[in-house]
A = this chain, B = another copy of it.
Amino acid sequence: MGTGNRDLPAGFTAAELAHRFALQLKGDGAAVVAGVATLANAGPDRLSFLSNPRYRAQLADSQAAAVVMRAQDSEGYAGTALLAADPYVAFAKIAALFDPPPPLRPGVHASAVVDPSARVDPQAQVDAFCSIGARAQIGAGAVIGPGCVIGDDCEVGEGCVLVARVTLVRRVRLGRRVLVHPGAVLGADGFGLAMDAGHWIKVPQQGGVVIGDDCEIGANTTIDRGAIEDTVLGEDVRLDNQIQIGHNVRIGAHTAMAGCAAVAGSATIGSYCLVGGAAGILGHLEVCDRVMITAMSLVTHSIREPGEYSSGTPLMANREWRRNAARFRQLDTLARRVNALGKTPRDEED
């Protein structure tokens, strides 16, 4: 239930929250909030929120001390409300009050192994069992959690957090305030091969990885180093877990990708794109700004117009699916037969 946090501050009144986040208060300004909860499960000292209309019905019965919501949703609500144009954003900001980062413990753990040529800022925290390679740099306020490997020539900017067991292989440069979750591997060799007389030979991967400020990289996500130039993520790019980014990919600022998405080598993706879970983007393509790819779709050609794109087929009961899928094999023949019937399409009907 997320209520076990022993580092919780004592609480805030609804009036304090309204003032701090510039929200309009409706109801009891003295109501005390000591944490957050869902509408359905909030106790009387919890703040909740209503953003998605599907949860509207839960509002009346919620025991929450206060609820963040839109003004129009508060009509007829008898409890304490904090009114926001975007309740989810306001809730996120308030919730952060109850989830303070653990206090920084500057210094290098006795067990860590740091190359003499590395520069670790005295205000950085390096935890147990970390390896820091030659010429690596760790900025002030950065946290290198337990078991991380920071390879040669890597740079970790101010305020970055590598939660645990993160690997930066080589020539990886993180901007400021980058958050990297456990198991992520940045800067492994790109997949560059050439077939020579029946055997593969490895194409040397000499580029690096450059990650902009305020990016977030999910657990077990992999971002390969470039072959010659760098693999580049702009600022505020958000990658979920288990995402694969090939060598020399470029991703524009503020783009977000859901879990298990994959981008093949040398693709260029614009800013403010949204890539759904397990979607794929083939190599050497260009995707312009503000493109949304739905889950598990495969991008097989460049996209030059903003908008939403999809591939795949609907889910069906397997027996029904089998019948339809078998017909997919005959689709070209079917279309030819229809053409042979000599009718022109009458798109005006239906």
A positions within 8 Å CB-CB of B: 1-2, 4-6, 35-38, 41, 86, 88-89, 91-93, 95-96, 98-99, 102, 109, 111, 113, 127-129, 131, 135, 145-147, 149, 151-153, 163-165, 167, 169, 171, 179, 181-183, 185, 188-189, 191-196, 198-208, 214, 216, 218-220, 222, 224, 226, 228-230, 236, 238, 240-242, 244, 246, 254, 256, 258-260, 262, 264, 277-278, 280, 282, 292, 294-301, 307-341, 343-347, 349-350
Contacts and interface: CB of A to CB of B under 8 A. Distances in A.
A292 B129 CA distance: 43
Contacts of A201: 89, 92-93
Please give me the 3 A-B residue pairs with the lowest Cβ-Cβ distance, nearest first. A308-B318, A99-B204, A131-B146
12 contacts: A88-B194, A102-B152, A131-B164, A146-B149, A183-B183, A185-B241, A219-B222, A258-B264, A278-B280, A299-B315, A309-B315, A334-B338
Contacts of A41: 229
Nearest to A173: B4
Given A5-B206, A88-B203, A308-B319, 10 more contacts: A2-B228, A113-B146, A129-B129, A188-B219, A191-B218, A224-B241, A240-B244, A280-B296, A299-B315, A308-B318
Contacts of A86: 194, 196
A350 B113 CA distance: 69
Best-surrounded residue of A89, A99, A194, A344 (most CB of chain B within 10 A): A194
B336 A332 contact: no
A128 to B, nearest CB: 4
B2 A208 contact: yes
A151 B169 contact: no
A295 B338 contact: no
Contact of A147 (B149, B196, B338, B347): B149
A308 B309 CA distance: 26
B88 A2 contact: no
Contact of A2 (B167, B230, B328): B230
Contact of A131 (B102, B129, B307): B129
Contact of A315 (B182, B228, B229, B300): B300
Given A2-B206, A131-B129, A298-B295, A317 B324 contact: no
A262 B242 CA distance: 10
B298 A309 contact: no
Nearest to A257: B191
A350 B341 contact: no
Nearest to A100: B204
Contacts of A312: 298, 311-313, 325
Contact of A277 (B220, B262, B339): B262
A262 to B, nearest CB: 5
A349 B334 contact: no
Contact of A314 (B5, B192, B311): B311
Contact of A181 (B146, B189, B292, B297): B189
